Structure 1
Amino acid sequence: MKLKFIVIILLIIVSPFTRAQDTVGIMQTFCELQDGNSMKTYCYSYISGVIDVQSSFGLTHKSETIYTCFPEGVTARQGAAIFVKWAKENPEQHHKLAHFGVIESLRSVFPCGLKN
């Protein structure tokens, strides 16, 4: 419970400074940059944040809205590779917001199945 409270507070504090306009296409570009580039670091941080929030709020176990079951130890680097592959295979999604693409890409690799 304490962890959830901390995550909520951090999201409230950081949210005005996020790049809400980032799309799947823009995030793909960031994730494909060389390691050490600040926007590549942003990509890893963004994807790590999605994984952390889903895990922290229990959205990884057959939630009614998100069906993603991460194995132990999934890293931001792995998440970025999954996202880039998905983005390349789904160019029609490039106009959507980045969080949509990250969630969809992770769900495609780590599905839990639908809840009855």
Structure 2
Amino acid sequence: MNAIDKTVGFTYQNDNLEIRLEISSAPDDLFIENLDRSSYEGYTYVVKISSSPSMPRNYPDKQELIFILFNGGDQLLGYLENNVLNSLPETGFTQTLGAVILEALLLNDDNMVYHAGIW
């Protein structure tokens, strides 16, 4: 197949703050329709988290954002919390992680769980 850049993820917006999580596929021939686990097995992805404008250091705790990344099975790969992101430069942040990603969740203060989808 032709080399096609596929990205899944989501954008969270609140009070003019946009937080974006992207999972970009590495293989040229991978077509991503959703976060079906079987679609992701054996592939490596780059996860990027960025904000626009930069996330303010006084971002309220009640709006805490937790990105949870899973790989095979339900093994927790890692998580990124807003207090970690707030410690980055005020000009904004980009955090990159190379890993086999099967699922990305966003937990927000409304007790809802958001799964990554297609842009």
TM-score (norm 1): 0.26
Structure with greater helix share of residues: 1
